[in-house]
Structure 1
Amino acid sequence: MDVIDEGKSELLGWCDPEDHREWVRKNKNTAMEEKVMSLREAITKFVNDGSYIALGGFGHVRVPMAAVYEIIRQKKRNLAVAGKTAVHDLDCLIAAGCVSKVEVAYSFGHELRGLSPASRRAVEEGRVKVVAEWSNAALQWRFKAAASGLPWVPAYIMMGTDTFKRSAAKIVKDPFTGRPICLIPASFPDVAIIHVYRCDVYGNCQIDGALVEDFELARAAKRLIITTEEIIPNEKIREEPWRTVIPYFLVDAVVEVPFGCHPCNMPGLYYFDEEHISEYLQLTRTEEGTKHYFEKYVYGVNDHFEYLELVGGVKKMNYLRMLEQGRARFAYPWAKS
C-alpha cells in the first residue's frame, strides 16, 4: 500500500503479531491452575523496570489503585504507560517517579477537581516525556488490533488533525477504494493490570457494567495481573458462564484486594473518597508535599490493608459504600459553597 502520510511520534508496544504468538506459546502458562498470590509477589514477578504497562478501568473508575501503590512501594523505574483514559492511577505513578514515557489519549486531568500539578510539573521539567498522542478510540483500537492478532486496524479517524501528527499512525491509499484511510498500529503491553469485581482462583473474571477497553486489553497484553474485590468459588463462575469476560488462560496472577480501587470509584460498591483525593491534589502542588504524601500513604505502610486502615478503616469504607448507595450525604472538598 502507498503511504500518504504518517505520524511523527514514537511507537510504543508494537511487535509483529506472529512474534507475539510465538512468545505466548513459549512463555505463557495457559493451564487451569490456581494463580492466587500476594500483591507484592505479583508486582515483583511481572512488573520490571522499563516495562510498557497498561492499566484497566476508566479515569477514576475501577482502576487498580492497590497495584499502583505497590508498584510505587517497590520503586519501579522507567516505566512506559499507555494512558488511554488514565487519571489518578497514572498521576500517582508519575508523581512517585516511576514513569519516564507516556502515550496519551486523555491524561493529566482530574475532571472537576482540576488539572494534575504533579504530572504537569514532571512533563514541563522533562522528567517524563509524552512520546505520542492518540484519540480515545485509536488507543483502544490499538489493543483491539493486538487482541485480534493483527498488525493494525483501519479507521476513518484522526486524519487531518494535530492528534494524527503527534501519533505513530499511518495514512495509506486504500487498495479497494483508492481513498485515504488511517492504519492504527497494534499495541502489545508487557503487562496489563485490571481490577475486577470478582473472579475465581484460576482467573475467570466478572466485570459489572462498562468494560471500557478491558476486554481487548486482557487479550493484548503479554502478562495480565488481575486484582479483584473478591475471590469466589469456581462453581459460581460456572453457574453464569456468560458473565466471564476475561478467561483464566489469559491471566498470570490473581490478587484479592477488597477496596482495591480506593480512593477511586467502584460502581455499585463504593464511591470516590473525595477527601483523600483532595488531600492528594493539595499535597502534590509541591515536591515537598508529594514526598510527604507517599511517605505517609505508600512507603509508611506494608501493604494495602494497612493503607485502608490509615485512610479511615472500616468506618470510612462503610461510609463510601453508603455514598455509592445514595444513603449518605455527599461532600466535595474541591467545590465552592
Structure 2
Amino acid sequence: MPTSPSIIALGMESSANKIGVGIMAHNPVTNTSTVLANVRRTYVTPPGTGFLPKDTAKHHRSKVIELVKEALKVANLKVQDISCICFTKGPGMGGPLHVSALIARTLSLLWNIPLIGVNHCIGHIEMGRMITGAQNPVVLYVSGGNTQVIAYAEKRYQIFGETLDIAIGNCLDRFARIIGLSNDPSPGYNIEQCAKKGKKFVELPYTVKGMDMSFSGILAHLESTTKQTLKEYTIEDLCFSLQENLFAMLVEVTERAMAHVGAREVLIVGGVGCNERLQEMMGMMVKQRGGHLFATDESFCIDNGLMIAQAGLLQFKTGYVTPLKDTWCTQRFRTDSVLVTWRD
C-alpha cells in the first residue's frame, strides 16, 4: 500500500463494451505514479453481431460493483485511502457511459470523496504517456469510436487530423461481421490474426483528404464485393489487404503531423493501437525520420479504468473537481475542448 503522501485515484470506464476499474497512486514528493489495480470485463456478442447500448449497459451494471470490490482488494486498499473517484464523462455510447457515472456519483456521496469527470480520449493519452515515458509525442488515437492525430499545444491536445466518418475500429469490427469472424476476444484481434496468413494483396479504396481520413468508402466497397472477391482471394488475403490499406492512411497523416510540429516521437493509443502490424508500419516511418515510436500492450491500449484514474489524478492534482451537478455524460466530448492544466 502507498505511503501517506500519495494521492490515490479510483477510475471507472464504461464508454463501450468494456467495463473497467483501475486504481492509480501518485507520490507528489517523488513525482512518480504507481499502478495498483487494473481489472476489466468485456461484453462479447455472437459472431456477426455488434453490441447494442441497452444490452451493453445491462452487462456493465451486473459487473461494476464486483469490479470495484476486486480493484480495492487487488490494491490492498480501504475506502478511506481513496483521494478521488474518476469516471468517463464522454465520448462514448450513452447507455454504457451512464453506468460508471451513476456508480461514481453514488460512491462519492456514500464515501464523501470528490468526483472527477474525465475525457475518454485524454485518458488514453495520459495513460500512454505515463506507461511509455513519451514526453511530447504526436499521438495517434485509434479505437472503435475514434480516429484522431493529436499534438499538444497551448494547453490543449490539438486535433491535427481525424476520420471524416466512421472510426477505424468500427470499420474493422463491421468487416469482421461481414466475413463472420468471432467477437471473442475482439473482432480487430481476429482480423489481425487472419491478416498474418494473407498472401495476396487486393486493391481497395484509399481515401486521405489533407489531414483527414475516410473509412466508410472502403467498408462499403467490401460490403458489395466480398462475396465475389472470395472466389479468387481468401478471407486471410482480404484481412491482410484491409489492414495494409487502413494503416497506410494512418501512417501518412501521422507523418505529416510530425513534420508540421517538428516532433520526433509518436505515441499510439486506443484499442486498435495493440495491432502489431500497425506498430510495425508506424515504427518504420518514425525510424526513417530519426524518431522513436511508443506503444503499449492490450493491458493499457484497450479501454480500462486505470487510464481514467490517471487522467483524473492529473486533474485533481491541479485542484480540479467536478461538481455533482456537472457529473452528466455526453456522447460527444471533443479532445481539444479540455484545458490541459497539468502540462507546461
Specify if TM > 0.5. no
Return the structure number with greater helix share.
2
Indicate the TM-score class for this superposition, using the shorter chain for normalisation: under 0.3
TM-score (normalised: structure 1) = 0.26
TM-score (normalised: structure 2) = 0.25
